[in-house]
Amino acid sequence: MKDKSEAQRAKGKEISHGRPHWRFEDLEIWNKAADLAVKFHRIAERLDRRRLYRYVEQLRAAGLSISNNIAEGSDSAHKQEFIQFLNITRRSLFEDASMLLAFERLGLLESTEVDELL
């Protein structure tokens, strides 16, 4: 393992396997959000085959916004700032839920799959 630089220690990063370890990777909420993004990406791949490109891009972006906002907020200097990022994350979850319910109504997703994701 390489020696940690002062800047890396300040950011909570350690070099492991040739890449930095980010503080947000230790957050359970980020890991759950990252898993959800993978599930959304897989759904988007299925929709992509049906040439539903607008839905595909929106679903991918919305899925990634959750984990991205948590990651971005985890480097906040103040607790209140991190809370603001978590609030944005919560709103993204509502957007995702709305899309899933719309996709279900359009017959693009099965109710069982939507229920699992909600």
All domains of the chain, ordered by start, with CATH?
6-117 (1.20.1440.60)
- For tokens 């359009």, the residue is 106
Half-sphere exposure of 87 (CA within 13 A, CB side): 6
Residue 23's CB is within 10 A of a number of other CB atoms, namely 14
The pTM (predicted TM-score) of the whole model is 0.79
Return the pLDDT at 10.
45
pLDDT at residue 19, rounded to an integer = 87
> What is the pLDDT of the chain when averaged over all its residues?
87
Q: pLDDT of 10-66, one tens digit each? A: 455 556 678 899 999 999 999 999 999 999 999 999 988 888 888 889 989 988 999
Bridge partners (DSSP) of residue 20 are 15
113, 103 Cβ separation under 8 angstroms:
no
Helices (H), the chain: 6-11, 28-49, 53-73, 79-105, 111-117
**Is residue 101 pLDDT above 60, yes or no?**
yes
pLDDT at position 53 = 86
* Predicted pLDDT of residue 34: 97
